[in-house]
A and B are shown apart, each in its own frame.
Chain A
């Protein structure tokens, strides 16, 4: 009888396929390792220069405003006052709106793809969802600006205001281009990532556990909720984390639909701004000091996304790298 291993499969980086370069060395291998180390070193150098150049570009702004760039409440290019708190909150707000829709719909779709659909339809639908990931972000921006914005202005936002009696956060006059629209466009953009990565996580929950739970009388939903979702929890949380990083840093699509207004948005229907979209739209006509201030925004954005990303990668490490999705 074959022995069933209780240990989980090794992660990619732990597979014992590789050797220590110093062992088994053949004469002439040093050139091979030289090329490999040289090219990899070049990439490492590029990354180092990349970080240095972003940080260096921001130094004049930190000298000018100090840490008040992070907690200051007024961002005005005209008066050279650089307080990014409204912009940071706009970034977090759009990301939160996107996640609010994307988590239930994304995880629900992943469950449906793995455990509800028959095999052939499963492959078709999951590759359709992945096609969404291939659409360039500027096309999402175009669609958001020319199709969704008028629809939001005339139908969605008046409708929401009507239902909620224009209470917070649905009170301002509908503008179309708004925080809500930016969040909705982001939702569409991060959805394929959540679906694809959660599907991978759900698919590796052992089928024996699924059947075992069914056999003791649990209904399908109970199995999904009590067995499958807990089993796939790490992968799903990782998927959500990576999607969060993507939403925080999305630039062009958001820049097209958010209206770039560096104030605290009083309502979901008002214009706002995010870190990435502010950098994108204000860079062109900026004075050197303003460029530095935008560099400071870039440093904040880089730190934020790098940390979130790093956590996400830890969590989804076990599954194979998905070049098409991430």
Chain B
């Protein structure tokens, strides 16, 4: 406020300061631009490096896997290669059918539970809902091998503690379905919560204002509106579950027979890959590429298909 402060400053402080800044800037500018170009270039290199594994894996899969795709591969059951014909290893129809049955049953119970629980997370703001959300988030991140132990304890050998007795049903497709299903539920829950929350509140409020019951609003308004998101949620969870190996590692029994009955021992594609890849027979190890290619093909078709389908449904609605 006083004049004294201004008197001490040279006549044109702004010009002087600008010159100083320009002097310093000119000195460092070239260096700064060089560093900037280098570092931004490194970011691009990082992106290229990140894509190398993708192409390397896809290349190996196609190069080593496609030649196994023939009629025998899809229709026969595996056999151990003999000394006479080390390439007579049959096919993997048992694993394909096993995956179909196990994952189908898992989806059958995980999808309704996941979507309804997701609806609960989206509609309720109670303390229980937020606890459940945290539980689901942590469950999604837990190693899937733990679900293998769970299924083994509960379904394979049964539960007999504290007066509660559940008979075990042994190594079976059901045990695998249980593990895979429990794995899918929290993923579907969280993703369908996101989809259901995307339904604009005024639409639901309009239903409420008309005096509709919440169950009717949920069935006729909220779920149909969120359908594209729900389908994506379910299919993404499913595509992830199809490739899971750890939870079924020692609960489905790894049968070499074609088996449709889920109470019996079954085979599964990811498990078959694991077993073939670690087997001592060269031909079986190589055949693992064929199964892996098929598995990746199925997973990517579901994955991409769900995204495309949801985008298409979204466009049709408009």
Contacts and interface: CB of A to CB of B under 8 A. Distances in A.
A251 B145 contact: yes
Contact of B54 (A131, A305, A323): A131
Interface centre among A31, A40, A221, by most chain B C-beta atoms within 10 angstroms, is A40
B149 A298 contact: yes
Contacts, number: 298
Interface stretch (A65-73, A81-89, A142-150, A164-172): A142-150
A95 B36 CA distance: 31
Interface residues of A, number: 100
B69 interface: no
B87 interface: no
Interface string A193-226: 0010000000000000000000001011110110
Interface in A114-171: 116-117, 125, 128-129, 131-132, 134-143, 145-147
Interface stretch (B9-17, B73-81, B208-216, B256-264): B208-216
B92 interface: no
Given A56-B161, A142-B292, A302-B146, A44 B299 contact: no
A24 B208 contact: yes
Contacts of B194: 12, 320-321, 323
Nearest to A44: B132
A279 interface: yes
A276 interface: yes
Contacts of A141: 274, 277
Contacts of B51: 125, 128-129
A3 interface: no
Contact of A109 (B47, B124, B191, B270): B47
A37 B137 CA distance: 18
Interface in A218-253: 219-222, 224-225, 242, 245-246, 248-252
A29 B215 contact: yes
A108 B218 contact: no
A5 interface: no
Interface string A11-49: 011010111110010101101110111011011101101
A116 B201 contact: no
Given A21-B126, A108-B43, A309-B141, A47 B288 contact: no
Contact of B246 (A50, A147, A252): A252
A219 B120 contact: no
B314 interface: no
A181 B308 CA distance: 36
B240 to A, nearest CB: 8
Interface string A310-326: 10110000001101101
A283 interface: yes
Contacts of A43: 113, 117, 132, 135-136, 185-186, 189
A113 interface: yes
Given A12-B194, A276-B246, A219 B215 contact: no
Interface string B144-169: 11111110111000010100000000
Interface in B56-70: 56-57, 60-61
B123 to A, nearest CB: 6
Contacts of B61: 139
26 contacts: A12-B194, A17-B197, A36-B116, A39-B117, A40-B132, A50-B147, A50-B150, A53-B149, A53-B159, A54-B146, A106-B50, A136-B270, A136-B295, A139-B61, A139-B295, A141-B277, A143-B60, A191-B53, A249-B143, A251-B246, A279-B149, A305-B143, A309-B137, A309-B142, A313-B138, A323-B191
Interface of B: 25, 32-33, 35-40, 42-47, 49-51, 53-54, 56-57, 60-61, 112-113, 116-117, 119-126, 128-150, 152-154, 159, 161, 182, 185-187, 189-191, 193-194, 197, 201, 208, 211-215, 218, 232-233, 236-237, 239-240, 242-246, 249-250, 270, 273-274, 277-278, 285, 288-289, 292, 295-296, 299-300, 303
Given A134-B299, A138-B270, 13 more contacts: A35-B116, A37-B120, A39-B112, A49-B154, A54-B146, A105-B50, A109-B43, A136-B296, A195-B50, A219-B32, A220-B36, A249-B145, A283-B148
The 5 A-B pairs with the shortest beta carbon distances in the complex, nearest first, are A136-B243, A249-B143, A108-B46, A219-B36, A309-B141
